[in-house]
Every structure is written in structure tokens, then in C-alpha cells.
Amino acid sequence: MQLKKGLDLALALVEKHLLESAVTGVTDDWIEKMSAVATKNEPKVGKLLAHALNELGLEGQLTFQLGNGRDDELDIVDGIHYEQGYLSPYFITDKTRAEAVLDNPYILLYDREINDLMDLIPILEEVRAEGRSLLIIAENVIDKALTGLLLNLTQGVFKVVAVKPSGFGDRRLDRFKDLALLTGGQAILDDYSSPKLEHVTLDMLGQAQRVVVTETSITIIGAKGDKQLAKQRIETLRAQADFILAIKPGEGSASGNKHDFDELEERIALLAAKTGVFSVGGLADFEIKERMVRIENAYMSAKAALEEGVLAGGGVGLFRCIKMLDSVIAENAEQQQGIIIMKLALIAPLQSVTRNAGLNSEAVIAHLMSSDDEHLTIDTQRHLYGNFLEIGIIDPVKVMRLALRNAVSVVTTLITTEAIVMNVPDLSIMDGYSPEWAAATREDPRS
């Protein structure tokens, strides 16, 4: 426990030092250099990602998909994004990315629970006849209805995904109406004027170019609603928000006014949202999928850099924190040992990077220590020392900080746990196993 306290103390000090030392005001040039490192030196990718971040900002959504050609393409389109994921992981269509993706779907907006699959069959049959898929945004899909949907999906009868709507309580009705406006559909609300589910027709459904649903969020790309009507509603909501801001202190409930204002701001953000679609190019599917992972990592690194700034890469940013820990005196010897362990961990990435590049890590460390320039780092590929911003060896502070925090969390959990339960497989069943014999006889000795 004392070692854990020492590590936690060191972690807090290192995180604080990283945030205070960070170079902020990230430019497009820095983003391009970071992307080049993450994508094995593909400069065009960096330009596209920098453009995406300029257009979408930190709150915008950028989705990645397999391209149809050799070149990468970026499209900025109107998009809707909110925090609600699929109702069941069995809706997933891309197991590698854990996403449920629908192309050119119809969208059903239904503010009630669906508990009988037979109520859905008429509209599902109409959608199927069109050769399209269906996104269901409903209060909930429960019991036999959800089971029936998943059974038909796995058998290839219908292409469908179900999610919950945005918002909670009474405010959810306004969100439903906003979604209907954006998608060009009709919100089937829980009132006497709305039709029953079995009477819903295609002309009541919304439409979009593409829908991507993850475990925690949904992104609707290229919704086909009336953009002019959406702009008019945004203007109306902004006028309401300005009215609330103009209320003088003491008039009405302060907390209620703030809640109403926040709700209006969220609706405006939903109505005015944009999203980006990055189509990853390549010569073959396996190459495109490999590049997609690298490009997505580069995008996340760039977003992290915009949030908390950057420092020297290649392990140097963490290495520079060691000097700050030299003056720290803990409560006792055991906690001090935890700080020493942290120092050893902070130097390890730099040692590994230089050693893997065929360099003498001790010589590199000595060179870095001999300089007072906090921005000095090394490009191990070109064996070049220089300012990390100029030579492009850049790491986002957030990435370094969270990597260190997660490492400390895992280690301190293990060292303070008396026992660990794990599954040890019985490898004896593989004794005498020959894949050639199994392929020839179609028999498996393990059975």
C-alpha cells in the first residue's frame, strides 16, 4: 500500500508537470507532422485530417469507411450525432470496429415501446421491398420484438438497427421533432393524432445516406430533411436562448433558467451539426483496413493534441519529468521507493525507442541531459537531434498522460491484490496434433 501511495503521488506530480509544460496553440503543420508519424509518413493524410478538424472542431464527428479507389477522400456533410448506442451487440455489422452500419436507410421515429414484432412487420416488408435498411429510433424495443428483430437480422431477412432517442423526460418530444425535421420523416408520438405502428407507411419515414452506431453513440450522415426549415428552427431556438440570457438575476429560477438554456443549446448543436466521412483508399481490402486503423489513430492523436497540447515525442516528454521528481521527498522509505519506480518507468520508453532503432540509448540520454532545451528530442529514423516541433517528433500530452495513468492503475491494482483468478488452458489436448493430418483426414484429435 505504501508503494501504491508513492506511485500515486508521483503520477499526480508528473501529470501536473506535463500539463504545465505542454505547448498549446496546435497548428495545421503540427497536425500534419503528427499524422505523418502515425501513418508511416503519409503527408496527404495529415492535410486531410487538419482540414477535417478545422471544419468540425473538437466536438465534431469524423467517421471512417473503406474507399472505392486508391486515393483517400474527405467529405464534410450534414450529420446528426448523439450519445445512444445499439440496443443489442447482435446488431453489429462490422465486428472489427464493433459498429452497426446501414447504407441509405429509412428511419422510423417512434416515441413508444415496441413489444410486438408483428406491429413492425408491415413497414419492414415495405422497406425490404425497396431493397433498403431500417433504423428504428424508439423509446425501447423489448422482449419478443427485439428477439424477433435480431433473429430476422441474423438470417438475412431484414437489415435493421434499433437505438433509443436523444434526451430524457418531457424534453425528448422536442428532440424527436428535431430528428424528424432533419431526416425528412414524421415523429410518431404517443398521442391520439399519431398513427399506430402497424399503419406507418414509407412516406412517414426519414432517410439518410449512412448511419453508424457504436456501443455508446449514433451518427446519422447526410440526413435528407429540409435544410431551410432546419435553419428556421435554429433561429427560433437562438431567439429563445437569447431571451433566457436577458433575464435579470432574481427573475425566475436561476437553476431552471440555466437548464432551459442548456437544453436549447443542445438542440441547436444537434440541428446545426456537421460530420465528416473519411474514405480510406488503397489497392486491396487488407491494405485499406490496415491503413484505416493507422489513420484513425492519427486523428485521435490530433484531437488529443488540440485538447491539451503537445510535447517532445519519442519518449523524451516523459523523460524530462524525471528531474522534477528528484526533489520530491515522500513520507517514508516505501513511498520513496514508489517514486523511484516511477523514475525508472519514465525513462523506459526512450530507452526502448532508441534501442529498437539501433542506437546507444545511454549516449542519447547523455546528449539530451547535457542540453537545457526542453524542446530538444531525437528523430531515431534520421539520427537527427532538434526542436521537436521542427523535426516533427511530436506526442500529444493527453496520450502520454493517460497511458501513464492507466499503467499505474494496472500495476497498483496488481500489487495490492492478494490473488489473481485467471484461466490456464489445458495444452495437453494438443499433444500429437498434426494440422497436415487433420486437413487430410478432416478429423481433430482434440474432439
> Does the pLDDT of residue 187 top 60, yes or no?
yes
CB 4 within 8 A of CB 415: yes
Q: How far apart are CA 171 and CA 82, in angstroms?
A: 15
Q: Output the pLDDT for position 445.
A: 53
For residue 355, what are the contacts with CB-CB under 8 A and spacing of at least 6? 361
Q: How far apart are CA 62 and CA 146, in angstroms?
A: 30
Q: How far apart are CA 314 and CA 339, in angstroms?
A: 22
CB 113 within 8 A of CB 137: no
Averaged pLDDT, 368-396: 90
pLDDT in tens, 124-161: 999 999 999 999 999 899 878 999 999 989 888 989 99
For residue 208, what are the contacts with CB-CB under 8 A and spacing of at least 6? 104, 105, 107, 135, 183, 220, 221, 222, 223, 224
Q: Which of 128, 24, 67 is nearest to 291 (CA)?
A: 67
Q: Output the pLDDT for position 20.
A: 93
Which residues in 189-199 are b (16+ Cβ under 10 Å) and which e? Answer: beeeebeebee
Q: All 3 cell numbers of residue 318?
A: 516523459
Q: Which of 225, 211, 150, 129 is nearest to 183 (CA)?
A: 225
SS3 for 279?
strand
Instruction: State the Cα torsion 329-334-339-344 to the nearest 10°.
Output: 140
Fold of the domain spanning 28-72+281-308: GROEL; domain 2 (3.30.260)
What value, to the nearest 5°, has the Cα angle with vertex 443 and ends 441 and 447?
170
Q: How far apart are CA 259 and CA 114, in angstroms?
A: 30
Q: Output the pLDDT for position 324.
A: 92
Pairing of the two strands 134-141 and 73-82 = unpaired
**Boundaries of every domain in the chain:** 2-24+311-415, 28-72+281-308, 89-227, 233-268
Q: How far apart are CA 246 and CA 170, in angstroms?
A: 25
What's the burial of 228, exposed, middle or buried (CB within 10 Å: 0-12/13-18/19+)? exposed
CB 432 within 8 A of CB 351: no
pLDDT in tens, 391-410: 888 899 999 999 999 999 99
Q: Output the pLDDT for position 31.
A: 83
Q: How far apart are CA 378 and CA 40, in angstroms?
A: 17
Pairing of the two strands 187-188 and 106-114 = parallel
Averaged pLDDT, 273-299: 86
Q: Quick one: 89-227 is in which CATH superfamily?
A: GroEL (3.50.7.10)
pLDDT in tens, 288-323: 888 898 898 888 888 888 889 999 989 999 999 999
> Does the pLDDT of residue 82 top 70, yes or no?
yes
> Does the pLDDT of residue 61 top 80, yes or no?
no
SS3 for 60?
coil
How big is the chain by its Cα radius of gyration, in Å?
Answer: 27
DSSP string, 89-157: GGG-SBTTTTBEEEES-EEEEEEEEE--HHHHHHHHHHHHHTT--EEEEEEEE-HHHHHHHHHHHHTTS
SS3 for 394?
strand
CA-based max dimension of the chain: 85
Q: Output the pLDDT for position 211.
A: 94
435 falls in which pLDDT band (50, 70, 90)? Answer: low
Of 33-47, 98-112, 162-176, 210-224, the one with minimum mean pLDDT is 33-47
CB 407 within 8 A of CB 325: no
How many Cβ atoms from other residues are within 10 Å of residue 23's Cβ?
17
The dihedral through the CA atoms of 410, 411, 416, 417 has a sign that is positive
| H or E element that contains 385 | strand 384-387
pTM for the whole thing? 0.63
Q: All 3 cell numbers of residue 228?
A: 431551410
CB 69 within 8 A of CB 150: no
Q: How far apart are CA 51 and CA 76, in angstroms?
A: 10
What is the CATH architecture assignment of 2-24+311-415? Orthogonal Bundle (1.10)
CB 401 within 8 A of CB 18: yes
Of 267-281, 339-353, 424-438, the one with minimum mean pLDDT is 424-438
CB 394 within 8 A of CB 28: no
Q: How far apart are CA 416 and CA 424, in angstroms?
A: 22
Averaged pLDDT, 210-232: 90
Q: How far apart are CA 270 and CA 83, in angstroms?
A: 11
